[in-house]
């Protein structure tokens, strides 16, 4: 053993080892960065802080801020979202103002934002809140998640708003007509329950001609009337109606199969409202074949 090694105290690390231990210690003590939207848990799982009204309003302000940031990231797809966020402007007391007009363009919502919307909804339910703020939160969430095609978010929100909030804090007739219409379209297009859709339409005495025409087209399986009605719909109505597109498209495919042997490809694309790539992908569902610019629907059976 050398004299240098003998001078070291037993069990004491050398200079290099000491630096490694300090680096390890500092890395363990490094502060974990938590997204503000993940600060709270779900009230249904035991979170109680979101039962406070001030906390709900501050948390919803964070949601609006995040949605506004998302709209800036992709203005081409969410170009009307900023206007809707502005209509729910937060004042110095972090309370949301009353106005909440419909949003007019498609949007994407990150999963963390959708989960945050669920948390604030559950907080409102847990606190039994039924005021203008609660209405505005639910309306904003419903419109946003319909356009983002998040049915797990908009459907329970619609049911609670119409069955509970509207009873304790009545909606305006315009809002009631709009939101009940969304539920009617969900019943008709997603759930394929036209009977329940017509019953709900009658219960709320809906005056929306577009919804009436869409229901009429679905009941008669009239593809042409269906698309004409859909093109007159609002963006939220368009998204809800899209759940019935494939069902109606299959019906048109069956009609074409019984009527034609061959058709021009352009005609089939227009008839099914598909582009060339989509037609090539879904052509197998109809047992058809594409030959150059023709679609072979049926082949003559040899006699």
User: Which pLDDT score is estimated for 75?
Assistant: 53
Lowest mean pLDDT among 11-15, 104-108, 253-257: 11-15
If you search the block for the tokens 């801020």, which residue do you land on?
A: 65
| Average confidence (pLDDT) over 144-162 | 95
Q: What is the pTM of this model?
A: 0.77
More confident residue, 84 or 181: 181
Residue 164 — pLDDT band, cuts 50, 70, 90?
Answer: very high
Q: Are 161 and 145 in contact (CB under 8 A)?
A: no
> Is the per-residue pLDDT at 91 higher than 80?
no
Residue 20 — pLDDT band, cuts 50, 70, 90?
Answer: low
User: Which pLDDT score is estimated for 87?
Assistant: 55
Cα–Cα distance for residue pair 89/96, rounded to 1 Å: 6
Residue 15 — pLDDT band, cuts 50, 70, 90?
Answer: low
In three-state secondary structure terms, 290 is strand
Cα–Cα distance for residue pair 90/64, rounded to 1 Å: 9
Cα–Cα distance for residue pair 89/250, rounded to 1 Å: 45
Q: What is the pLDDT of residues 167-202, one digit of tens each?
A: 999 999 999 999 999 999 999 999 999 999 999 999
Which among 56, 204, 77 is positioned nearest to 141, based on CA atoms? 56
Which among 175, 173, 196, 171 is positioned nearest to 185, based on CA atoms? 196
> Is the per-residue pLDDT at 204 higher than 60?
yes
Lowest mean pLDDT among 2-11, 18-27, 117-126, 157-166: 2-11
- H-type helices in the chain, by residue range? 3-6, 15-28, 53-73, 81-87, 111-126, 132-147, 151-160, 166-168, 173-185, 194-203, 209-220, 223-230, 235-241, 245-259, 265-272, 276-282
Q: Are 149 and 95 in contact (CB under 8 A)?
A: no
Across all residues in the chain, what is the average pLDDT? Answer: 81
> Is the per-residue pLDDT at 80 higher than 70?
no
More confident residue, 293 or 213: 213
List, edge to edge, every strand of the sheet that includes 262-264.
262-264, 294-296, 289-291
Cα–Cα distance for residue pair 303/46, rounded to 1 Å: 74
In which region does residue 273 sit, left (phi positive, over 0), alpha (psi from -120 to 50) or beta (all else)?
left
Query: Could you tell me whether strands 262-264 and 289-291 are parallel, antiparallel, or unpaired per DSSP bridges?
Result: unpaired
Tokens in use for 107? 């949007």
Cα–Cα distance for residue pair 201/175, rounded to 1 Å: 15
Q: Please give the backbone phi and psi of residue 80, each rounded to the nearest 5 degrees, phi first.
A: -100, 0
């Amino acid at each position: 053993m050398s004299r240098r090694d003998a001078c070291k105290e037993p069990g004491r690390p050398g200079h290099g080892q000491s630096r490694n231990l300090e680096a390890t210690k500092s890395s363990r003590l490094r502060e974990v960065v938590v997204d503000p939207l993940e600060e709270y848990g779900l009230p249904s799982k035991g979170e109680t802080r979101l039962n406070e009204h001030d906390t709900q309003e501050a948390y919803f302000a964070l949601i609006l801020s995040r949605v506004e940031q998302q709209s800036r990231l992709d203005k081409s797809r969410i170009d009307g979202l900023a206007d809707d966020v502005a209509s729910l402007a937060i004042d110095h007391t972090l309370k949301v103002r009353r106005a909440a007009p419909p949003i007019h363009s498609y949007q994407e919502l990150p999963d963390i934002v959708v989960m945050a919307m669920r948390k604030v909804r559950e907080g409102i339910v847990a606190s039994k809140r039924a005021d203008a703020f609660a209405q505005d939160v639910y309306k904003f969430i419903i419109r946003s998640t319909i356009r983002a095609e998040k049915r797990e978010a908009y459907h329970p929100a619609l049911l609670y708003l119409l069955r509970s909030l509207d009873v304790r804090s009545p909606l305006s007739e315009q809002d009631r007509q709009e939101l009940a219409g969304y539920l009617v379209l969900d019943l008709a297009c997603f759930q394929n329950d036209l009977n329940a859709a017509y019953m709900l339409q009658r219960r709320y005495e809906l005056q929306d001609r577009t919804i009436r025409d869409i229901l009429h087209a679905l009941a008669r399986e009239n593809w042409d009337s269906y698309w004409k009605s859909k093109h007159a719909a609002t963006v939220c109505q368009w998204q809800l109606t899209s759940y019935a597109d494939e069902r109606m498209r299959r019906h048109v495919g069956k009609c074409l199969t019984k009527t034609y042997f061959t058709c021009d490809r352009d005609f089939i694309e227009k008839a099914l409202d598909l582009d060339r790539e989509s037609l090539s992908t879904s052509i197998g569902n109809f047992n058809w074949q594409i030959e150059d610019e023709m679609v072979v629907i049926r082949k003559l059976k040899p006699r």
